Amino acid sequence: MNENHNIKVRFVPGLTNRLEFGQMFGGFLTQYGDKNILVDCGTVTGARNLVRGLLDRLGEKPLDYVFLTHIHVDHSGGLAEIFRTWPDCQAVVQAQAMNHLINPEKLWLGTVKVMGELAPMYGQPQSLEPGRLIPHTEFSLPGLTIIETPGHAAHHLSYLLKDIIFAGEAAGCPYHLNNRLYSRPATPPRYYPEPTFASLALLEKQPAEWGYFGHTQEECRLSETASNCREQLKFWDEFLFSRWQEEASKTDEQELIVSLTDRLFEEDPHLRPILSLGPLKTKVEKYFMQNSVAGFLGFYAERERKVSRK
């Protein structure tokens, strides 16, 4: 729970059957006026655990809304179980992404393609009733501003509730260690720099000092989080592009991704502290960072193809 603003926020985990991932997945529960709101809802496989945690906190009170920052299965997977538990609950969704929750076949195929062997841990999403989903363009509450923040996902939203913001992965995945704030990029295939940096600039303009971010339980200062993310993305671009130019034509793509990720954990001051957390935690973090590296390399390859076609 926070101590830095007037709105109480609690992280409710949705534990999966892979204990090494700990409390990476779940949602942020807050009471806003007379409404109980959950921001994001974790994976399909962690949904029952999430619902038990929500029932413990809510008791007989209803869950009114789920605000989705984006529809990736590790953020939207719990919706079906939530809807079964609270029949009147509705979810606010980026308008153009709604159909992927109503007909989730492409969403699941994309999950399998990007997450590979980890996709079963997320779980395959079920089709959701259209009437339970509200397009973000048609929803309002006093004091709520919904901000389009594409980058990590094409259809990404951030939610400003008075003086706090729920920004999903629009500013990466920050983490605290030894009272310092660090950053982890969230650039899965494919990385799009222009909207990512535009969203960071938009977040920094918001009247919020504190924010909540994906895969991070505690609140973080918005300005520091956005600044760390921006500088880290610039560092990664400088580090990765030259090495991709030198090595892409003579190295297997997956081997290159693994090699570059290992080198980033030694060179990036925001990733290096993770190595002190032990081999199991490092392995988990490296898996996700490999996806972020793959996002950069996919962007470079696409940019090169566009140039060659001109």
Model pLDDT for residues 111-135, shown as the tens digit of each residue: 999 999 999 999 999 999 999 999 9
The CATH 3.60.15.10 domain(s) of the chain lie at: 9-222
List, for residues 254-279, the tens digit of each pLDDT value.
999 999 999 999 999 999 999 999 99
Please, are residues 53 and 42 in contact by the beta-carbon 8 Å criterion? Answer: no
3-state secondary structure of 92: strand
List, for residues 210-238, the tens digit of each pLDDT value.
999 999 999 999 999 999 999 999 999 99
* Count of residues in the chain: 310
Please state the φ and ψ torsions of residue 196, each to the nearest 5 degrees: -60, -50
The model's pTM:
0.95
CATH of domain 9-222: 3.60.15.10
DSSP label at residue 172: B
Tell how strand 35-39 and strand 26-32 pair up: antiparallel
Task: List Cβ neighbours of 164 (8 Å cut-off, separation of 6 or more).
Answer: 2, 5, 7, 9, 208, 210, 211, 212, 219
Give CA–CA dist 167/14, Å, rounded: 19
Mean pLDDT of the 15-43 span: 92
Work out the pLDDT band at 30, boundaries 50, 70, 90: very high
Choose between 173 and 310: higher pLDDT. Answer: 173
